[in-house]
Structure 1
Amino acid sequence: MKSTPILNQIGTTFIPVSDIERARDWYCDILELPSDGEILFGHLYIIPMDGTGIVLDSKIFSEENIYKAPPFHLNTNNIQQAFQHMKRKNVEITTKIENNHWFNFRDLDGNHLMICQC
């Protein structure tokens, strides 16, 4: 039995964004979620996710905080469909589909993110 009170789980990840409302609308659009959720404390938006959460945070935004490499990936069951979906949404895709398994893209602030087939 482990004695640590710290769980081996990731609760949420924070993404630095420059404009919280614009970022909320963009992320909700690509995930096809309603974008009517409340912005907390003027700088936080919690994206309603299944599993590990994503919090958009405009208070931590700076050029130095932009993700240069994907800190996580979003899951998909069909990488080809996900790639085409992101193209239709005019998302900046930064790699081709690699190993028929994953690709990278950038959000509006230049954060590098990934979509990966489960």
Structure 2
Amino acid sequence: FPVMQRLSALERWTTPQRRPEETLVAWRNSWPALVVTQGKDVIGFVRGMTDGEVTTYIADLLVEREHRGKGLGHLMVDACHKLYPHTRLDLISTEGANAFYKAHGFHPVGEGLRKSYR
């Protein structure tokens, strides 16, 4: 989990640092939850949730900057879909990641909204 916190901090994702206990529980309750390693180092991760039949939601997808552009993000998304092949994949993307997702077959379906309680 400290590796996920470090990678998240590099992207200014603050929840793993501000709420580590809750974030760890979220990881434990999520599936699929996969990592990509190089040797002993975690260089990417994906965390999702699914009902197993209709929707798989990708909550977090991150690849360390120096390893981007090598297909690792696509590999993790594809692995999530292969676990539940008849579900659709849904996610909320940042503006900077939209091109990545569009290049891999995702399309806009409306506007995402969020309400935080903390």
TM-score range, shorter chain: under 0.3
Larger Rg: 1 or 2? 1
Q: Which has the higher contact order (CA 8 A, sep 6+)?
A: 1
Higher helix share: 2
